Structure 1
Amino acid sequence: MTNSPREVAIHAMKRKLLRMYGDFIDLSNVGGNDANREVVKVTRSLAAFAVNYFNYDVEPRVCAESVCDGSDDHCIDAVYVNHDKKIVCLVQSKLDQSGSGSISRNEFGDFTNSCRDVILERYELFNARFNRFKTDIERAFDSSYKFKLVYIYSGAGELSSDINRIVSDRLSEFNADIDDGAYQFELMNLDKINSILSRSTLGSINLDDVEVLQYGITEHPLPSIHGIITGDQLAQWWEMYSDYILEKNIRGGLGLNSDVNVSIKDTLVNNPEMFWYYNNGITVLVDAYTASMRNASSRRESGRFNFVNASIINGAQTVTTIGNAYLNGDVSIEHLESVKVNVRFIKVDPSIEGNRDVSLNVTIANNSQNKVTGRDFVSKDPVQIALRDSVNLEEPYKYEIKRSGDSENIADPYHINMDDALNALVCSSLIARNLALLKSNRGRFFESLTSPLYRNVFNPSVSSVFLINSINLYRKCLAYLRVVEDSCDNGRNKKIAIHGRLVFIARVFKANRVFLNSRTVIDIDDLPPVEEIISSSFSMTNSYISMHYQSSHMPRFFENIGKVELVMNIEQHITQGNIVSQDS
């Protein structure tokens, strides 16, 4: 009897998975006959593969060790925390021997419920294998990592309306406090699994027939091709590979609405002929390259090349902006053909001893050496210069607007740096959006010195006296909040104190407007008391969250504009009776 195509695909999948992960899968908690153990090994290999797919540079052994499958696994078969990429993978794997089954509504619902339990940090529901990663998961929550909620199954690709509804409902629930969609479901079926497994190496991207204009060739010490590439090719790469082509990059895209990418897109759409002049270009690492036989040996106006295992290590914002502009219909392929971008393809053969270190060093250097950020341009802002000069007249205070690595003055109460100023002025503004953004992405304030965001904080109306008094009050609040944090009797309360500190400090500023409007610098010893306001703010917020937002995760809660607004006006949302009943 002839096997069906799906059965052949299942057999191929099993063979490849067992070859990659089989030797590393722990079966010490599995009984039964050999056939049963084989099924469990394949199922666990599926879970390890899912982890490996989103962490392609992690060794198969490590991915296999992330498996926590067992009778007491609470529907999570693998967990892996990648601190470099700041992502967490939670995996449920299902082996369908026929290759044609669909996702079970009940099983998928159980998986999503278990994901909710992880978000709520109900670690006691999970087995010991899962809890090996408890500390890593807590660190991930505190640092606002992204979560990949992966359901991998060796069945058909068509999703039922029930499954689509569950995904939609859970995404709305899990991301309710978040603006950037930190929790994302990834559903991987048999076709996708075998498509990935068919690659020569997991995560390998080969770029064929790439046209490089006005190219040059460097042979030593690292072979490389450099020249110009057109935007239509970059858009097609992005369409085919998405952000997997950025796997070796220090960071991915900053987001379509960041000031950097808005500026890139504006040039791309409205001034494409100037793109080459305004843009720094991209750098691509490859394992190997070959030149087309059609390339003329004496003329280098245009050449075609094939690149093996390519990864863009610098220029992520350029590629993501071009790619998304094309996919969103903002520009056409014909338009992008006129966009020129500098490009370097550097060959770092991994088979040569020591080249792994070379690859890492090239990546780091391209993303850090002599790096200039928006924060560095602040020192040229006339508003900052005037404010610095004004503060420096209020001896012994000094305002340092240039970024430096010197930490000598951190403990000096009369030394003010840009971070101090940003923190204090945002808290004094009482604007929920700014407070939430300062918590989630403070670098946004410096992306453009002409943006309303930056000018809302730093503008000519900010006097030296206001800045100094604001910073001193901020520092006093921060010192007392650390006392509150140390006195918390459980982890959740401590996280409220830590992640809510900016909002609690803003409430102190709200209650001391008269002080902040002083025309003279107030002595540090004469600052208004802050203890009562902070303690009551913490108590009311803690009680309200316990009653109404038990499922919310604290780092994300205080990055949500609506929740920040709520805490800023907590008295309007909670009664004294609620507090008493909650404390009793």
Structure 2
Amino acid sequence: MSAPLQENRQLDIIQASLLRDFEPFLDTTSFTHPDPAQRVPNLASRALAGAVVRDRLGCDTERAAAMVTDGGQDFGIDALAISDGSPRVWLIQSKWSSKGAARFGEVDVMTMADGLHRIDQRNFDRFNAKLLTHRGQLEAIWQDKQLRVTLVLALMRRDPLHDNVITRLDEVRHKFNALGDYLDYEVLYVPEIWEMIRRGGEPEPIGISIRLDRWFDISTPMRAANGIVDAAQVAEWYAQHGDRLFQRNIRESLGVTQVNAEIQRTLVEEPHTFWYRNNGLTMLCDTIKVTPLSRIEPYGPATVDVRGASIINGAQTVAAIASAMRADSAAAGRAAVGIRIIESDQPEVSDEITRATNTQNRVELRDFVALKPEQVAIREDFRLTLGLTYAIRRSELEPSPESGCTVREAAIALACTLTTPDLVARVRQNEDLLWEDGPSGAYRRLFKGQPSALQIWRSVLFVREVRDSLHKISGELEGRAEAIATQSMLVVAHIAFTQLGRDGVDDSDVDWDAVLREVHGLTFRIVQWLISEVDQRYGKSSFITGTFASVDRVRSLVAGVRVAIDAGQDAPGLAPEYQPIPRQRRPRRRNTVALLVDAGRIKDGSRLTFRPRTRPERAALAPWLAEDSLRGVATWVNNRMKPLVWSVDGKGYSPSGLVMKMYALAEWDGAPVAVQGPSRWHLGEEGSLLWLAREVSAESSTEDDEDPAVDIDVDALLDAVDDALENGGQP
């Protein structure tokens, strides 16, 4: 077969495979063209985006299809993939061509950059309903200090992109990474897509040939080999297989962390000590074949061939080894690494081993402070002077807010009271820095002078007051302004303390309650100034995540805000786009569910998705919803009392009743006593139940007379409750 014919055949196979796998699960309600043939390119493009999700997450096809966001107002984001085990996000754009000549230009790059920018700014107003389904997860993961974002361009073309397009991509990456290594991009052409489709939802098992220097084996209750491998081999596995090497693990590599940095240092500077200092790797596989290389030394060098390999414990060690090998392969490659290889083809046994190896208690840098004499003295000072609890060890019960604090809370509060903001900027990225005890370590700056219990406790109360004030203030802000308020907590606390808290923090004669009463007003002024300073210094398109992770930028922002406040200048007003739009009261209407059922507006069996409505609700429920994709899904049945069948337990609920149950299961202490459930359950891109009911009501030419006892405007009443909650409890 000639090369062109072979290539065309490859394109046909890719299309057929994508349509076969994804067509049953993709939302096609937005396809309005009357010619069915015109649906194929649109469907194939969405299926391609879903295939990338499936490949990156290793999930099933149905879940991957649910992550496709392609449609109007997607801002170049046709799908997104959010890792369950690490702060990883893939934003995907797909371009389809049945001839293998998909177009992708500079405009497409800038459209996708706009979408990325809107997510970073928490500006979700114009995104379509599909992407808004994942808003809570995005907002939660975007605040993670180890966030890593990859733009994936899946292009059905063989020719490489024009140099100008690559330059544009590099510019976007450079701008986003100006303050840290957060963003990367990858381009998938036809050959890469072909390989991805071949892997499908079930990637080909990883096969590795391992040379062990010393080893022994165990045969019951399952076969296992234990031995020593050199670091160079480990780095080679990672280079070849990447994060697929951790497919059965509960998480992949977390990137650069304090622990990983120490592993890298040991590998480069003291490789001969690595085996003694590191717990090594645990590998699970389907089959093991051990071939000793010496007949006279049966447990000497051996080759172990494994199939279906996955490292279930030691992902951070592998990533650190790969990084150290890039820095100094000659030194790091000599390090000896311990490894256990366990053979198991039983999924339930494999899962149990994975859980067990990843739930052992890890020693953190904070744990070592329990040995410090000054911490014991501070605890005694808290007990004797204040009658409060000061918890040092992680194993101790955390005291209630009114009865004391932990050493962690104390360290963060003391960091906010330092004369410079450097530490609060660095701690936001890595809390382990608080416990570094070298000559220039943060721990020495915070505790070596042994601050009094009164100073620590008052500092803690001050930072708590700032935190609570910011929580209230953020509810009055929108988009970028809300992101600044959310991510600047320690910076705001530092500025506020320099203005109010420094004088008298260690003086028992000072009325500290009076100081705390001034915090809320000052916090709001500081936030206003911070928003203004960030926009003026770095532009309204600057990335918020990186800005507050940069020591230089934080130092500059703090100086600017302090100068303005010290000069007595009035705080700048908020731009209109940073303020919530007041909602108008709606007229009295019939019960939402009754309207929809009577009109037959929704078909039995239709899929509904849950979308949190208020900011506190999103913050409280996002982690819980992310744990199980079924928690945010229900099926509609035309029943006036219980029209929602929850995918988790198969039971029927009213819209509001199910939301209240979800609040309880998520253990949200701040949950409201009533909720407008119909505004939170959505029928695809068509809108919420509340919106659909309004459409039905508007289309009705006459109003039915209802029994007054039944015709209660529950939705309007709960609107008022929602408004009160969003306004800090004030109706």
Is TM > 0.5 for Structure 1 vs Structure 2?
Answer: yes
Whether 1:438 aligns to 2:427 is yes
TM-score where L is the length of structure 1: 0.86
Q: Which amino acid aligns with 2:232?
A: D
SS for the counterpart of 2:339 is strand
Whether 1:150 aligns to 2:152 is yes
Match of 1:184 in 2: 184
Q: Which amino acid aligns with 2:340?
A: R
Tell me the distance in 2 between the aligned counterparts of 1:401 and 1:377: 10
Tell me the distance in 2 between the aligned counterparts of 1:172 and 1:573: 32
- Structure 1 residue 509: Cα displacement: 1.6
- Structure 1 residue 185: Cα displacement: 1.9
Whether 1:343 aligns to 2:343 is no
Q: Is the 8 A contact 1:102 1:156 kept in 2?
A: no
Tell me the distance in 2 between the aligned counterparts of 1:290 and 1:235: 22
Cα RMSD between the aligned structures?
Answer: 3.4
Whether 1:471 aligns to 2:460 is yes
Tell me the distance in 1 between the aligned counterparts of 2:30 and 2:470: 47
Match of 1:194 in 2: 194
SS for the counterpart of 2:209 is strand
TM-score where L is the length of structure 2: 0.70
CA spacing shift, 1:67–1:255, aligned 2, 3 Å: closer
> Deviations for 1:535-566, whole angstroms, at most 9, x for unmatched residues?
32123223444666433455554333234224
CA spacing shift, 1:517–1:370, aligned 2, 3 Å: closer
Q: Which amino acid aligns with 2:464?
A: R
Q: Is the 8 A contact 1:196 1:202 kept in 2?
A: no
Q: Which amino acid aligns with 2:395?
A: S
Q: Is the 8 A contact 1:383 1:458 kept in 2?
A: no
Match of 2:552 in 1: 562
Whether 1:99 aligns to 2:100 is yes
The one of 166, 170, 173 equivalent to 2:172 is: 170
Q: Is the 8 A contact 2:151 2:184 kept in 1?
A: yes
Q: Which amino acid aligns with 1:432?
A: P
Match of 2:141 in 1: 140
CA spacing shift, 1:340–1:113, aligned 2, 3 Å: same
Q: Which amino acid aligns with 1:152?
A: A
CA spacing shift, 1:234–1:81, aligned 2, 3 Å: closer
Q: Which amino acid aligns with 2:175?
A: E
SS for the counterpart of 1:368 is coil
Q: Is the 8 A contact 1:76 1:90 kept in 2?
A: yes
Tell me the distance in 2 between the aligned counterparts of 1:293 and 1:228: 14
CA spacing shift, 1:360–1:422, aligned 2, 3 Å: farther
Tell me the distance in 2 between the aligned counterparts of 1:118 and 1:397: 43
> Deviations for 1:362-387, whole angstroms, at most 9, x for unmatched residues?
33332231322112111013443344
Whether 1:404 aligns to 2:395 is yes
Q: Is the 8 A contact 1:500 1:558 kept in 2?
A: yes
SS for the counterpart of 2:457 is helix
Superposed, 1:420-431 pairs within 5 Å as 420-431=409-420
Match of 2:243 in 1: 243
Tell me the distance in 1 between the aligned counterparts of 2:535 and 2:53: 34
Tell me the distance in 2 between the aligned counterparts of 1:282 and 1:140: 28
Q: Is the 8 A contact 2:293 2:301 kept in 1?
A: no
Tell me the distance in 2 between the aligned counterparts of 1:453 and 1:94: 51
Tell me the distance in 2 between the aligned counterparts of 1:20 and 1:296: 51
Superposed, 1:362-381 pairs within 5 Å as 362-381=353-372
Match of 1:285 in 2: 284
Whether 1:68 aligns to 2:81 is no
Q: Is the 8 A contact 1:378 1:449 kept in 2?
A: no
CA spacing shift, 1:46–1:531, aligned 2, 3 Å: closer
Superposed, 1:453-532 pairs within 5 Å as 453-464=441-452, 465-485=454-474, 488=476, 490=478, 493-512=481-500, 514-516=502-504, 518=506, 520=508, 524-525=512-513, 527=515, 529-532=518-521
Identity %: 23
Match of 1:274 in 2: 273
Superposed, 1:216-231 pairs within 5 Å as 216-231=216-231
Tell me the distance in 2 between the aligned counterparts of 1:452 and 1:251: 33
SS for the counterpart of 2:214 is strand
- Structure 1 residue 391: Cα displacement: 4.2
- Structure 1 residue 189: Cα displacement: 1.4
Q: Is the 8 A contact 1:6 1:98 kept in 2?
A: no
Query: Unaligned regions of 5+ residues in structure 2, if any?
Result: 580-731
Tell me the distance in 1 between the aligned counterparts of 2:571 and 2:464: 31
Match of 1:90 in 2: 91
Match of 1:312 in 2: 311
> Deviations for 1:235-284, whole angstroms, at most 9, x for unmatched residues?
2112222333234444444545x443333233323332222122211111
Tell me the distance in 1 between the aligned counterparts of 2:126 and 2:507: 58
Q: Which amino acid aligns with 1:51?
A: V
Tell me the distance in 2 between the aligned counterparts of 1:479 and 1:118: 25
Tell me the distance in 1 between the aligned counterparts of 2:376 and 2:498: 28
- Structure 1 residue 39: Cα displacement: 2.8
Tell me the distance in 1 between the aligned counterparts of 2:468 and 2:36: 62
Q: Which amino acid aligns with 1:224?
A: A
Greater mean alpha carbon deviation, residues 426-435 or residues 199-208: 199-208
Tell me the distance in 2 between the aligned counterparts of 1:114 and 1:514: 43
